[in-house]
Structure 1
Amino acid sequence: MKKLFYILFILGCLTSVFGQKKATLKQGNKFYEKKEYVKAAEIYEQLKPTKDILQKLGDSYYNNFQMTNAVRAYGQLFFSYKDSLDKETFFRYANALKGIDDYNKGDAIMSEYLGFEQNTPKFMKNITRNSAFTYKLVMMSKNKTNGDFGISFYGDKVVFASLRNADGGEYGWNDRPFLDLFSATVNNEGQLTNVEPFPEEINSKKHESNAVFTEDLKTMYFSRTGERVQIGNERIATVKLYKAEFVDGKWTNVTMLPFSSDEYSVEHPALSKDGKQLYFASDMKGTIGSFDIFVVDLNEDGTYSQPRNLGETINTIHREQFPFIADDGSLYFASDGHQGNGNLDIFMAIKLNDIDFDKPQNLGETINSGMDDFNLILDYKTGKGYFSSNRTGDDNLYTVALEENKLLFAVEGVVRDKNSLQLLPGTTVKLYNEAGELLEEVIVGKDGDFTFNTEPNKKYKVMAFRDFYIPAEASFDTSVKGKVYINLEMKIESYSDVEKNIKKDIEGSLFIELENIYFDLDKSNIKPQAAQVLDGLIALLKKYPYMEIEIGAHTDARASNLYNLRLSNRRAASALEYLVEKGIDRKRLRSIGYGETKPLIICPKNDCTEKEHAINRRCTFRILK
């Protein structure tokens, strides 16, 4: 009996082994090209981690919000192939790191992508302190894996998209059910109740999501995916906008809007309060980034104007999606292109006129996380609303209650080069109180602007610091009027633009050009002539109290290399001590001896004249910051 058991066990193992198909790159790429990212990742995990496989593995996880796995794949990719990667991979890796709350490394990668320093925690703290509102959140469903998102108002109910329809087949992108639309009521605890699917006239065998309704609830606009078609080398199913009408108690006359297409997606509809304009997100021709926000006019005869891009104030080179138009015309939307907490953040832009919006404002960290936060809708009358987030790993809906932010007193400004007037991202700006105590500091972003929270009826000073620039400062008083824009345009000047004796060398370093300090042979003491030169340096350092310098000492080529190195160190230290004795803070000075390694005059066979040896015995002064 035992023998028979072992035979069956071995046969079973052999059947299992021979029944398995070896994973191949061709299989993985086939799934990847079809955007079936779960299956693609399973294949790539079994293959040798080449550059292409690691890239696609990281992208597969990133596209399904599996940020821990995306960080692992991208991390290995960066370790082996960083210098040959495209910029978009830097952007994705940075956001994946922020998605797991690793802001130190995420900001470092994003800084490389942008070309200037990022500090997300400081930025978000500052934004949150200066937002008009903070947001109290409650998850709307106890089941965190329903995949609920895309919520909208529907009279005294809400409508949202969800994966709850388990009988609707699976979508290859994430191996989960297709999305359908559901209606529900919201109870006093902010929970979804009486959840019901829309009828089959609306919910098809494809994805439906993001419905929006006219005020009389008789017209509905919503998103639906189409059939896969061949676009270039890919077979893709784009998202399209549809219109439906409520006639005799049921939804009918379902028609596709004329600006939808097989070649690009049109999604996330939003209606203006008067019902005359329809906003949406699209990657149609003319987009600035991967998805932009557009608007069309709804004409009285039932036709539509040509779609208009909202322009670069709203749209970036990345994603802008999920628009919502509030009662006052303000635009709420999600973006991962404007500076934020990581991945999609929610922004608000005030409407200036019929076509223009003001600069978008991040809504702060009480609503925005390191993952995707999007699809905020608000009722200004009640101060309540709803939004979507995948901060727990799956899409979920949250109720939102607006609470007035009591920290409204603020000062704002920008930093520019005084001569070129160019913005200076990466500049450090510090806020001091009347007693000179440092309260806060920020590193300005790509727009060169800064914002500080302050208190009413107090005096402050703002200073801007940048290496090789003269710090600029401005003082101001706050009023009792709340948040006001004090135009602190900090214009700072480079030392080399101001002082004729400060020069740039061929490597871009700044040097103070002074008369050479000469030393006697084998000596390190400061001679009277040298003291006069150093006194001029002292005057410059007192004029610019934030300047820091390196004192470099050099010898002639006589004696041994080691002896000359030690002698030059003593000479540099001697010059440093002279400056300290004259009142210069030691922390602003650094001394270094170069020995005979950097002569001004190179003599054949080291056969210098006494005058040439004396020229090589000198001190140089390099500006460190």
Structure 2
Amino acid sequence: MKTFKLYIVLVTLTTVTLCFSQSKSKADKLYENRAYIDAAEIYAQLPKTVANLEKLGDCYYYNSEFENAHKAYKQVYDLKIDAGLSDSFYFKYFDVLKGIKNYEEADEISTLYLKDSINTKNFRSLLERIVPYNYELENLTKDVGGSSFGVGLNEDKIVFASTKNIKNPNYKWNGKPYLDLYEAKVSTGDKITLDSVQPLNKKINIPTQHESSAVFTKDGKTMYFSRNLKKRIDLDSTKVAVVSIFMAELIDNEWTNVEAVSFSSDTYSTMHPALNNDESRLYFSSDMPSSIGSFDVFYVDVFDDNSFGAPINLGENVNTKRREQFPFIATDSTLYFSSNGKHGFGGLDLFASSVSNNEFLDALNLGESINSEKDDFAFVVIDSVNTGYISSNRSGLDNIYTFKRIENERTYYIEGVVTDKVTGEILPFTTVTLFDKDGNVIAEQVVGEDGRYMLPTKPSQKYSVEGFQPKYIPQIEFFDTNDKGNIEFNIELEIESYKDAEEIVTDDADGNTFIELENIYFDFAKWEIKPQAAKTLDVLVALLTKYPRMEIQLGAHTDSRAGFDFNLDLSDKRARATLEYLVENGISRKRLTSKGYGETKPLVPCGENCTETEYSINRRCEFLILK
């Protein structure tokens, strides 16, 4: 009987194990094919292993279900906290923590595992001071149905992507209908609404393919848009639906001649087209082999015959090792785009990068008045009236929002830290001075124990900043401010001590800093500067000329063979004679002091029993650096 019961238990366990194995195989296949909604349902029922939980979290993460993703990722993190996880996992966990506004823990994960130290509280405070605009948003598509995003301006209409066509098949990634492109008019009144929403023609909208991100030439005759290809490519044992940019022509009021652009490919994606103001360049996002990260922003030159140049990557001021997408070029050539690889508030955030000398500058986060903890993207601005559109899934679905932007009263400043150039140690109590272009003092600060300084500036000005510490060579840095987004300036002042810069400068055991020169000899009971002494003092003149902020004390010492008062008076005269020689040779009297010590500070305390050598050692001039 016992044998029979044991048999039943074994059969039951084997059956359960087999069922789990079959379920996991099915879930993994769905996951590989990006069918995340169906895969999540199965993973949720499987044993809570690290592999199953991470893939479950991924299914939620890739559909922006951050609360559910966090629950799964948190279990993975707790199970493997001592064993270590991949950078990819830590980034996704960091991102979902931001997506649920747990910024403190997100900062900790970034600092510990992603090697990127972030303090979101300070970052938020900084942006409040420096962003050019604050934004007021209003949901434009909440009554359209489905998810909607990505505005293209076409004369008096907008064109956007939406899942509102429920006749389209569902996309396995998110369980929603395939995207189509729609056009509509925007009515402005007491309330902004969409009127006359109509799909584009069937040559554009294909039921089993996504269309989105349309942009139009100013004459309205050419449209660029994104569309995923029917063919799915096998990459790294997974099937990928590649997205390409297509171009269409308006002929007899119908979009036709729909073809993929020449720089697209069936092995990588090109998407989110954007034209610059004179339509000479087409910007886009791509994961082509030359990308820095998973998606980068590129551009191609557009030629008169509608052919294109080679793709050019915008570089590291714009692109990161994560995702940069949805570029838009304003009339002033400012690039707006979305990124999840730069410091932000969760998901994709909106950034701006201005142009200087044909190069895009470091991108600036547009701040919390427009960026949320979820994805914020597809920025479009109508510069003349400071209004425009963004897309966001902050409500749980992708929606298009209109915005008004209002100039922010920004605080401009320069900040940094002062350190020793050689040791790297922080230098407390350094005086940092800000000068205007004419050398006038604008502001001054003595740094505290942390060595940090912050001084106010104004836009579009030329400045210099100086770090000054006694016994150090002052360092001056020149910089310009502008009003293009580079508002916070970090200038690290590395200043070098005189003793590190000059071999003849040394410290004694008490921390005093001296200039070591050959001894200066005077005739007995005399104080006139002899020719040999003048040669030595000329070395000192050269050093003081080289460092115009250096201040010194000239100290003269005698031996003990004459009377105390006589020696004190003699040493004082010798010190003053040395000072006068320096003044005669162009050194400002304000930088010099003299002092006679007589016989009070012998180097060899031999009293009345000194040898001639010891007497000569005690007869000396010393050059003490005060500043």
TM-score (norm 2): 0.66
Q: Which amino acid aligns with 2:219?
A: D
Q: Is the 8 A contact 1:317 1:337 kept in 2?
A: yes
Does 1:281 find its partner at 2:285?
Answer: yes
Partner of 1:192: 194
How far residue 230 of structure 1 moved from its aligned partner, in angstroms, is 2.6
Query: Distance between the aligned counterparts of 2:488 and 2:327, measured in 1?
Result: 31
SS where residue 127 of structure 2 aligns?
helix
Query: Distance between the aligned counterparts of 1:167 and 1:404, measured in 2?
Result: 44
Does 1:71 find its partner at 2:73?
Answer: no
Give the 3 Å change call, closer, same or farther, for CA 64–491 of structure 1 in structure 2: same
CA deviation string 1:404-432 (max 9, x = no partner):
112x231033447542699x9xx9x9xxx
Does 1:342 find its partner at 2:346?
Answer: yes
CA deviation string 1:386-411 (max 9, x = no partner):
001111111111001011112x2310
Q: Among residues 361, 366, 371, which one is paired with 1:368 in the alignment?
A: 371
Query: Distance between the aligned counterparts of 2:144 and 2:446, measured in 1?
Result: 46
TM-score (norm 1): 0.66
How far residue 162 of structure 1 moved from its aligned partner, in angstroms, is 0.7
Does 1:234 find its partner at 2:238?
Answer: yes
Partner of 1:96: 96
Query: Distance between the aligned counterparts of 1:382 and 1:259, measured in 2?
Result: 35
Partner of 2:111: 111
Give the 3 Å change call, closer, same or farther, for CA 475–170 of structure 1 in structure 2: closer
Q: Is the 8 A contact 2:415 2:454 kept in 1?
A: no
Does 1:295 find its partner at 2:299?
Answer: yes
Q: Is the 8 A contact 2:413 2:455 kept in 1?
A: no
Q: Is the 8 A contact 1:149 1:161 kept in 2?
A: yes
Taking the TM superposition and a 5 Å limit, the aligned residue runs for 1:169-568 are 169-188=169-188, 189-205=191-207, 206-227=209-230, 228-353=232-357, 355-406=358-409, 408-415=410-417, 417-419=419-421, 461=445, 463=447, 471-473=451-453, 489-491=491-493
5+ residue gaps, structure 1 = 1-17, 430-456, 499-625
Give the 3 Å change call, closer, same or farther, for CA 461–173 of structure 1 in structure 2: farther
Taking the TM superposition and a 5 Å limit, the aligned residue runs for 1:136-155 are 136-143=136-143, 146-155=146-155
How far residue 191 of structure 1 moved from its aligned partner, in angstroms, is 2.3
Q: Which amino acid aligns with 1:187?
A: S
State which drifts further: 50-59 or 264-273: 50-59
Give the 3 Å change call, closer, same or farther, for CA 219–76 of structure 1 in structure 2: same
Query: Distance between the aligned counterparts of 2:37 and 2:284, measured in 1?
Result: 29
Partner of 2:163: 163
Q: Is the 8 A contact 1:473 1:490 kept in 2?
A: no
Q: CA RMSD in A?
A: 3.5
How far residue 130 of structure 1 moved from its aligned partner, in angstroms, is 1.5
Query: Distance between the aligned counterparts of 1:134 and 1:246, measured in 2?
Result: 38
Identity of aligned residues (%): 39
SS where residue 159 of structure 1 aligns?
strand
Query: Distance between the aligned counterparts of 2:301 and 2:30, measured in 1?
Result: 40
Q: Is the 8 A contact 1:375 1:387 kept in 2?
A: yes
Q: Which amino acid aligns with 2:73?
A: Y
Partner of 2:121: 121
Q: Is the 8 A contact 1:295 1:310 kept in 2?
A: yes
SS where residue 226 of structure 1 aligns?
strand
Does 1:34 find its partner at 2:30?
Answer: no
Structure number with bigger Rg: 2
Q: Is the 8 A contact 2:416 2:454 kept in 1?
A: no
Partner of 2:542: none
Query: Distance between the aligned counterparts of 1:172 and 1:420, measured in 2?
Result: 60
5+ residue gaps, structure 2 = 1-15, 429-440, 462-480, 501-627
Q: Is the 8 A contact 2:414 2:454 kept in 1?
A: no
State which drifts further: 337-346 or 177-186: 337-346
Query: Distance between the aligned counterparts of 2:316 and 2:342, measured in 1?
Result: 11
